[in-house]
Structures are given as structure tokens and as C-alpha cells.
Structure 1
Amino acid sequence: MTIELIEHTDPGCPWAYSASPALAVVRWRYGDQLDWRLVTIGLTESHEQYVKRGYTAAKSAKGQRRFERFGMPFAPQVKARPAATARMCRAIHAVRLQDPAREREAFRALQFAQFTTDLVMDLDDSLRTALSHVDGLDGEAVVAALDSPEVTEAYEADRAEARTAEGSPTHFQGKHATSDGPVRYTAPSLVFRSNGMQLEAGGFQPLEAYDVVIANLDPTLERRPVPEDPVEALAAFEYALTTAEVAAIMTPDLSVPDLVAIEGLLIDAVAEGRAARVQLGDDALWSVA
């Protein structure tokens, strides 16, 4: 038995990015017992929407500081201007059509470029640069397909689905938004479905919210325990992890992740030739050597 998990998200949202450690734990614990599907929100179609709301390059860079407490890598680069998120979302659909196995890694590559570089992420050259970090992906073909009928249809379908939150638990809890009219899900909003039941964890939520939803939907699932070795956590993912993600996976229930201690274990693993480290913003990505 699997649980369908619909993740309403957007690579340009810092809340979605900051939820990555909790989502990594969910993936670690339940693996392929969750049938995970990304729904791209498409927060903005034009950067002018952000300009009209008072966003500036400096304000966006300084705004990263409020999210650093969640542990994900940041680098408050002052970009030339704010960027709309629509083309990043379109890129995810283009990747899905070209090579669906790389969708999640492409999504993460776009997030990393958004929050740790000075790339303006609604420009095609920036998208090519970000996607070049996904091994085996034809970034040029992805960018060439951004405005194709197939990508446009898929993107618009996701936008419409993300704007069906009216009357939902997410709406009730005040985790919705109406920035472009309809009541929409905010990033990341997770919708869980199983055996005719649907439960939601709308907007940014702690790990415990996701875990209690899964436990109530299907307590027969296998729940993988905390690993003793960080390399075991790294090996379970098809992409590299941040320090905060590894720390979250290795933290027992009701305990606080110790990023310094986990980073020390990861450094030891690199010294032993079992792991590899790549600098990313003010942190790093770790993978099996």
C-alpha cells in the first residue's frame, strides 16, 4: 500500500526551500511507500509583480536572513533584480517530459541557484547554468521547450490545481494565499491521500505534522529508523544532501538537530574517503564518494 503525496511548491519560495530538511526525513522514513507528485504553483509570471509589491534586489537578499535559522544554505547575493518564478516552474515540467527521473534533482538545482547565487532565475541563460549541475540532463533542450505547447499545458494545469484551496484545511488554518485572486496553496503544502481519505499539511509545517498525518492514514507502513552513520543517509538519496538535511534525518524524535556535530561526522567520512563535499553558499552538499 502506498500513500499519494501531492506537494504544492515553487522553486522560488524560501519557505519551500527551508522545509527541505523535514521533507528529507519524510523521504528517508517512508521511501517508495509514498507516491510523491510535485505541483508547481507558479507564484509570479513577471518580475514586475514583485516590483509592484515593493521587492528590491537588496530587500530580497536581506530577506534571506530570516530563513537561515532553518539550516539550508544561503548566500545573500544582491541580484540584478527580483525574478518571477514561472519559467523555473516551466523548466520543471520540461524536465519531467524529457527525463522524469531527474525532476527532483532539477527542482533542487533551481532552488540552489535561486538562494545561493546571483543568477536572475527567470532568464534562460540562468536556467541553463542552474540545470547544468544535473548530471545527464540536457539543459539546452529543457530551456528550448519552456514555451512549447506540452510544457504550457502541463504548467497551466498545475497552476489551476494549486489554486483549488478554497474551503480546504489549508484555507481554514490560514496557510493559503490570494495574491493573484483564487485561494491557492502556499509552498510547501502537502496533500496526502490513501484509501479514500485526504489529509493536508498546508504551508510551512514542522516535521511532526507530516509524520502524524502519515501515521493516521496508514499505520501499517514500514518506518525506517534513524541511521547511525551519515553515509547511510547519503546513500539513500539519488542526489546530494545539505548538512541540515542529513542532521534532520539523523535526529531522534523530540530532539534538536545538532548541525555542528553532524557536519563533524560528515567531515570524518570525507577524510575516510566515504563521502564527498561540494561548497554551496554558506554550507555544502554531501554525497557518497
Structure 2
Amino acid sequence: MSGDPVAPRLEVVEYTDPLCPWAWGSEPTFRRLRQALEGRVRWRRVYCILFDDDDDPAPDPAAETAWYARYIEEVGAHTRAPYAARLSRVAASSWPASLVAKAAEAQGEEEAVRALRRLRETVFVLGEPADTLDLALSAVRDVPGLDAARLHRDATSEAVREKVLADHAEARRPVAEVLAPPSGDTPHPGAAKETDDGTGLRYALPTVLVRGEAGHRAVPGWRPYREYVAAVEELSPGLVAPVPPLPANEALRRHRTLTEPERRALAGGPWPPPDADRVDTANGPLWLCPSEAEVHPATRPTATPAR
């Protein structure tokens, strides 16, 4: 029918987890890629569940937390992404954050992206992972455009749980190309990981799978922007639009929070904007636009962000 929207030529599948440090460090690249492909592809997030409910508890939680904090620091040394000066604990479960992130998708793509971002920031900015349903819902309660009551209903519904269960299963059916990917120029090449129960393999996080009529291309691990562009262009030449840097204040308003690597990738001109709010972490600042600073957990009176 004349006037009907054109169906996207490609699907971009992002295998991720709200609490994964490599996924957090990939945000500058993925934000730029989403902007370059806006309106041109279907972008779908699949929640892998990095910390599963049936994982065995650590015999020494304090030692495990110290080890994991060092691991996050090592990842941050490569990605330059912020991390909290003090990590309160290793997340008990990825299920609550994944359920809330999946539930937010019913309220719109922009709202879903903002909710997922807040959930990531709970662990990597605040050091308090959103690993219970109450914590996950609290983290996103003031996200602009989200209906909190509806989000609570959806996040606790069987329908959303079934969607995350389907994500969990899909993430454990990796394509052959990621079973032993070439290392390339990256500290995280993204070969598929053995599941904790030893019964199979799952995608390393993050992994992007680009799919279309001409086939699929996998981009696993922590990769430069050009590799994602190449994967898309191989299947649909000319689809990736240029992404010129936005003026600093416009970039911050659009994305609401920006790390240093993100603002270098997405913003141009003098930095910071005069009305930007700064939250310091152990690995650089998080910049907030004024309206985000009014409601963000890092700036709530009870918050204890790393400074």
C-alpha cells in the first residue's frame, strides 16, 4: 500500500547483559552505531543472563567482590569506561535488571535504551548492582517517559519472564563464526564462552549479529566501530549513515549521560557544556544533562557515588 513504512532491510541483534563490564565499555560504539542506523534497521537486544539464579554462591563473598572489582578495573583500563571506586558486591543475579530492561521495551525504544543505561550505571557508577527487583525498579523509576506502574506490572509478569527465558536460550545457541573468532586487535576477541553449568556454549558479551536476506555477520567481543560498519555494509552497502559530532550541549541532551569516551565519540566543540553536571568515578567522570541530574540515582540525596 502506498505510504506504508519500508520494512528494515537488516536486523541487528545485540547479545548483552545490563551488568556486563565489556558491554558497558562498548556503549560509545553502540550509541554511535544506533545513531548511524536509526530508522534503517531493526535493533533487538537479547539478555544473556551473565549472573544466573542457579549459580553457586561464593564461599567468600568479600574475596569474590575484591577479585571482581579488580577484573572491572582491568576491563576499564582497555575501554576507559567509568567504574566505581568501591563495588559493594558481585551481582547476585542478572534476572531483575534484565526483566526490567525487557519490560521497558513495551514503552518505546527510547525509553528502553534509557532504562538499560540506568541499570548499567548502578554497578559501574554507583557500585551498587541492581540485582534485586526492588533495586532495578528503583534505578529506573524517574526515567523520562517511563510509566513506573506499568513497568512494575510488566516486569513481574509471566509474559516478560518468558521473553527473557527465550533470550537466555537464544544466547546459548551461538553461530559457528564465534566459536573461535580471530583475535584481531582487541583484548576481548569474543569467542563463545562455556556456560557455568558446563552443558554448552553462550555468546561472549557483547556480541552483535547482523542478519539480512544475504546472510549474517557476527562481530563478537570489544571491537572498533569500523568492524560493525563493515559487517553492516557487507550485507547492505550504503546503509550506514555518517554520524557527525553534535554540539556538546545537544549531544548531552540527546543521550542524557555521557562518559569521557562517549563524549569524544559523539560530541564536538568545547567541553563540558556550562550546565553539565559531573559525577566522578575511579576511572573518569560521568556527565549528566541538567534534567537527568535532577532525577539520576547518582545525584539523589541518599546516593553514595564514587568520588
CA RMSD of the aligned region, Å?
A: 2.8
CA deviations on 1:149-202 (whole Å, 9 max, x unpaired) are 11111111111111111x521113161112232221121110101233211112
What is the aligned-residue identity percentage? 24
Give the aligned partner of residue 14 of structure 2: 7
**Does residue 1:197 correspond to 2:197, yes or no?**
no
8 Å Cα contact 1:45/1:85 also seen in 2: yes
Q: In the TM superposition, what whole-angstrom CA distance separates every residue of 1:34-65 from its partner, at most 9, and x where no partner exists?
A: 32110110122238536269862222223221
Query: Which runs of structure 2 are paired with 1:45-56 in the superposition (5 Å)?
Result: 45-46=52-53, 48-49=55-56, 51=58, 56=64
Query: What does residue 287 of structure 2 align with?
Result: 285
Q: Distance in 2 between matches of 1:81 and 1:203?
A: 22
SS at match of 1:226: coil
Unaligned runs of 5+ in 2: 1-7, 182-189, 292-307
- Residue pair 2:212, 2:235 contacting (<8 A) in 1 also: yes
Alignment correspondent of 2:265: 248
Q: Residue 160 of structure 1 aligns with which residue? A: 169
Which residue in the other structure is 1:182 paired with? 200
Q: In 1, Cα distance between the equivalents of 2:177 and 2:59?
A: 30
Where does residue 146 of structure 2 map in the other structure?
Answer: 137
Q: Deviations over 1:13-53 (max 9, x none)?
A: 10111111111221233322232110110122238536269
Contact 1:77 1:116 in 2 (8 A): no
**1:106 pairs with one of 115, 120, 134:** 115
Counterpart residue number, 1:60: 68
Q: Which amino acid aligns with 2:14?
A: E
1:75, 1:214 → 2: CA distance? 34
Indicate the SS of the match to 1:32: coil
Q: What is residue 213 of structure 1 aligned with on the other side?
A: 231
Q: CA deviation at 1:208?
A: 2.0
What's the CA shift string for 1:83-138, capped at 9, x where partnerless? 22122111112222355541111111100002121324222332133112412324
Q: 1:5 to 1:115 in 2, by over 3 A?
A: same
Q: Cα–Cα, structure 1 residues 214 and 280, in superposed 2: closer, same or farther, change >3 Å?
A: farther
3-state SS, counterpart of residue 113 of structure 2 = helix
| The 10-residue stretch of structure 1 (110-119 or 137-146) with the greater mean CA deviation from structure 2 | 137-146
The answer to whether the 8 A contact 2:256-2:289 is kept is yes
- Structure 1 counterpart of 2:226, which letter? E
2:73 and 2:155 map into 1 onto residues whose CA distance is 32
Q: Find the counterpart in structure 2 of residue 116 from structure 1.
A: 125
Do residues 276 (structure 1) and 284 (structure 2) align?
no
For residues 96 and 27 of structure 1, what CA distance do their matches in structure 2 show?
16
Post-superposition shift, 1:249?
A: 3.2
Match among 28, 33, 41 for residue 40 of structure 2: 33
Q: Answer yes or no: is the 8 Å Cα contact 1:83–1:121 preserved in 2.
A: no
TM-score, normalization: structure 1? 0.81
8 Å Cα contact 2:229-2:240 kept in structure 1? no
Classify 1:4/1:72 alpha carbon distance in 2 versus 1 (closer, same or farther; 3 Å): same
TM-aligned CA distance change 1:218 to 1:65, over 3 Å: same
Stretch deviating more after TM superposition (73-82 or 6-15):
73-82
Q: Retained in 2: the 8 A contact 1:230–1:266?
A: yes
Partners of 1:28 and 1:233 within 8 A in 2: no
The reply on whether 1:265 has 2:270 as its aligned counterpart is yes
Question: Between Structure 1 and Structure 2, how many residues are aligned?
Answer: 270
For normalisation by structure 2, the TM-score amounts to 0.77
Counterpart-to-counterpart distance in 2, 1:176 and 1:97: 30
The residue number in structure 1 matching 2:5 is: none
Greater Cα shift, 16-25 or 55-64 = 55-64
Counterpart pick for 2:104 among 95, 99, 104: 95
Unaligned runs of 5+ in 1: 251-261
- Once residues 104 and 228 of structure 1 are traced to their aligned partners in structure 2, the CA distance between those partners, rounded to angstroms, is 19
